[in-house]
Amino acid sequence: MRFELIQQNGSLRTFALDFATGDEVVALVKQFVAAQQIFAAEITALGGLSAVTLLCFDPGKGDYVPTTIQAPLELAMLMGQVGRPPTGGDAMVHMHAVVARMDATALAGHLGSATVSPIVQMIITEVGQQLLKAMNAKTAFMAGRSAK
């Protein structure tokens, strides 16, 4: 993965990230966010994948159910947020994706993992206030609010 700082407005930064064939998006984004000390940001991306694991929450099980697809896929849309637990510590990365198969059928869910092929291009834009993220114990969804 390569990255470039493409804009800075005061302390707020915008980065462009280019992932290459074989890169694992989720792990590299988490490493990047930690290395750059990003605690509140929005994420968008487009590109191509060779494999993806999407997670959908099953209220009956109280847990996420994975669906793994290993095939050429279009990353039609990826959006996410970076936030920090209210108690402090490492930032939390939460991303959702829509992927399309070669026949244009789409699948979507929480992004568990994604292997790039041939490229994924991502923008990470810091936002003004710290975004606090906490896991809701009943639903396992991450709730967010701005720090005041």
pLDDT at 137: 47
Q: Evaluate if residue 128 carries a pLDDT over 90.
A: no
CA 88 to chain CA centroid, nearest Å: 20
How much is the average pLDDT of 68-86?
Answer: 94
Q: Evaluate if residue 140 carries a pLDDT over 90.
A: no
Q: What is the reported pTM?
A: 0.86
Per-domain boundaries in the chain: 2-128
How much is the average pLDDT of 126-132?
Answer: 70
Query: Are residues 110 and 56 in contact, defined by beta-carbon separation less than 8 angstroms?
Result: yes
Query: Are residues 124 and 82 in contact, defined by beta-carbon separation less than 8 angstroms?
Result: yes
CATH 3.40.250.10 is held by the domain 2-128: no
